[in-house]
Amino acid sequence: MRKITDNTEYPGYLLKCQEKLLLDSGKVISDFQVAYQTYGNLNDDKDNAILICHALTGDQFPAEESPITKKKGWWDLMVGPNRPIDTNKYFVICSNVLGGCVGTTGPNDINPETNKIYGPDFPTITIRDMVKVQKILVDKLGISKLLSVVGGSMGAMQVLQWAATYPESLKSIISIAGSLKHSAQNIAFDEAGRQSIMLDPNWDNGRYPEKNQKPENGLSVARMIAHITYLSEKAFQNKFGRNLQEKKDLSFGFGIDFQVESYLHHQGRSFVDRFDANSYLYMTRAMDYFDVSAEIQHNQDKIIKNGIRFLVLSFTSDWLFPTKESKEIVSVLNSIGSNVSFAEVVSDRGHDSFLLDEPQFFKVCDGFLKGIR
């Protein structure tokens, strides 16, 4: 049974599914739920729906005020009235991914089989598992074909997975700062972050929720490591240089001397208040396992038959998901005869450019969506 209710913990809704969800690993999750938010109105033909797929540390609140941070939503520049994803025109859906920590079933939730928190007993998930759950939600909303599926970073992985697995259910996708598969370098960064969490004594082999504690130091360091990859060298230099933090001279110690150090510490501290460490482990592992290239090739006839339009976007200064990886997406899609457009946006702000005020980026996305019928 699948039932939609109001979300009593956060704004938005819950889809409660009393059924078994078979995962890529062969494991099964029973009685799961999906937390989601919507913006705008679904038209009578139900053909104006856009699904937004969030990145690693995102959630279901891309627009308006976030109940998590009490700040503007993580994609408020992109989603809203008169924005590129215009909620006056489109019905926008965004759900917290499977394995997340903002309402959708994840490792910090109760395992119905044991009545205890999953913790490390939560099964390993994949990007395909996340998308399978999103498809269940879209079906429950009565939408047979999405106008577009849009996402950046880990969101771009989900977008490409949608095209590969459910090509009959969408008209277009926008893949932003993504790749066909996670690179060795990115797997290495993910592993460094995971080890920082797992080596924190408070992680307690993933059982920390049972003791009402958190591996705060480990999760904070993991966030610091990751955040370095989100900015370009020029962005760091322009923002901080070698400026000292509220002092005139070096301390000749190991406290915070530089502004960039203070910035990273702030990013780490603020992150532990809104994110779950075990979710971080599971979601980065899902990214590591991602490789959709073979599935696109295998389902090429369905992709072509359904006439999906693709927009692939990259940023010149993004070294986490560099332009060459977006060009690999374009190459594979071209090899199967897809209708694909590509744009490299000039920006010196690194991977996070897709979350920032980038007029050229907004213009390309807006124009592409207006051309989808």
pLDDT tens readout for residues 350-368: 999 999 999 999 999 999 9
* Cα–Cα distance, 363 to 370 (Å, whole number): 11
Judgement on whether residues 277 and 311 belong to the same structural domain of the protein? no
Among the options 86, 257, 318, 352, which is catalytic? 318
- CATH assignment at residue 299: 3.40.50.1820
Judgement on whether residues 33 and 135 belong to the same structural domain of the protein? yes
Q: What is the pLDDT of residue 8?
A: 87
**Structure confidence by residue, pLDDT tens digits, 121-135:** 999 999 999 999 999
Judgement on whether residues 200 and 251 belong to the same structural domain of the protein? yes
Nearest partner of 90 among 56, 126, 49, 54, judged by Cα: 49
Nearest partner of 292 among 94, 186, 157, 174, judged by Cα: 157
Q: What is the pLDDT of residue 1?
A: 87
Cβ(175)–Cβ(310) below 8 Å: yes
Host H or E run for residue 36: strand 28-39
Cβ(179)–Cβ(81) below 8 Å: no
DSSP assignment of 107-157 equals: TTSEETTTTEE-GGGSPP--HHHHHHHHHHHHHHTT-SSBSEEEEETHHHH
Contacts 24+ apart (CB under 8 A), 84-88: 84/362, 84/363, 84/365, 84/366, 84/369, 85/50, 85/52, 85/150, 85/365, 85/369, 86/40, 87/39, 87/40, 87/63, 88/40
Q: How many CB atoms lie within 10 A of CB 211?
A: 9
Q: What is the pLDDT of residue 63?
A: 97
* Cα–Cα distance, 280 to 219 (Å, whole number): 8
Among the options 153, 179, 232, 317, which is catalytic? 153
Q: Residue 318 catalytic?
A: yes
* Cα–Cα distance, 208 to 219 (Å, whole number): 13
Judgement on whether residues 9 and 44 belong to the same structural domain of the protein? yes
DSSP for residue 167:
G
Give CA separation, 64 vs 52, 94, 120, 187, 314, in Å. 15, 13, 34, 33, 26
Among the options 182, 351, 352, 353, which is catalytic? 351
Residue written as token pair 């699948």: 2
Q: Determine the 3-state secondary structure of 80 from DSSP.
A: strand
Cβ(170)–Cβ(195) below 8 Å: no
Judgement on whether residues 106 and 210 belong to the same structural domain of the protein? no
Amino acid at 111: N
Amino acid at 242: R
Q: What is the pLDDT of residue 59?
A: 97
Judgement on whether residues 228 and 143 belong to the same structural domain of the protein? no
Judgement on whether residues 159 and 229 belong to the same structural domain of the protein? no
Could you tell me the maximum CA-CA distance found in the chain, to the nearest angstrom? 67
Domain boundary among 284, 319, 338: 284
Query: Where in the sequence is the domain holding 172, given as residue range(s)?
Result: 2-184+292-370
**Structure confidence by residue, pLDDT tens digits, 218-274:** 999 999 999 999 999 999 999 999 999 999 999 999 999 999 999 999 999 999 999
Cβ(245)–Cβ(257) below 8 Å: yes
Q: How many CB atoms lie within 10 A of CB 178?
A: 27
Judgement on whether residues 173 and 194 belong to the same structural domain of the protein? no
Number of domains composing the chain: 2
* Cα–Cα distance, 220 to 270 (Å, whole number): 8
Judgement on whether residues 127 and 224 belong to the same structural domain of the protein? no
Domain boundary among 254, 284, 314: 284
Judgement on whether residues 262 and 132 belong to the same structural domain of the protein? no
Q: What is the pLDDT of residue 152?
A: 98
Q: Residue 351 catalytic?
A: yes
Amino acid at 1: M
Q: What is the pLDDT of residue 142?
A: 97
Domain boundary among 284, 319, 339: 284
Which residues in the chain come in under a pLDDT of 70? none
Judgement on whether residues 203 and 109 belong to the same structural domain of the protein? no
Judgement on whether residues 8 and 135 belong to the same structural domain of the protein? yes
pTM beyond 0.85: yes
Structure tokens at 201: 């004594």
Rounded (to 5) percent helix, strand, coil in the chain: 40, 20, 40
Instruction: Work out whether the CA dihedral 97, 147, 329, 23 comes out positive or negative.
Output: positive
Q: What is the pLDDT of residue 253?
A: 94
* Cα–Cα distance, 57 to 151 (Å, whole number): 13
Sheet with 172-176, side-by-side order of all strands:
2-6, 13-22, 28-39, 91-95, 49-53, 148-152, 172-176, 309-315, 339-345
Cβ(60)–Cβ(162) below 8 Å: no
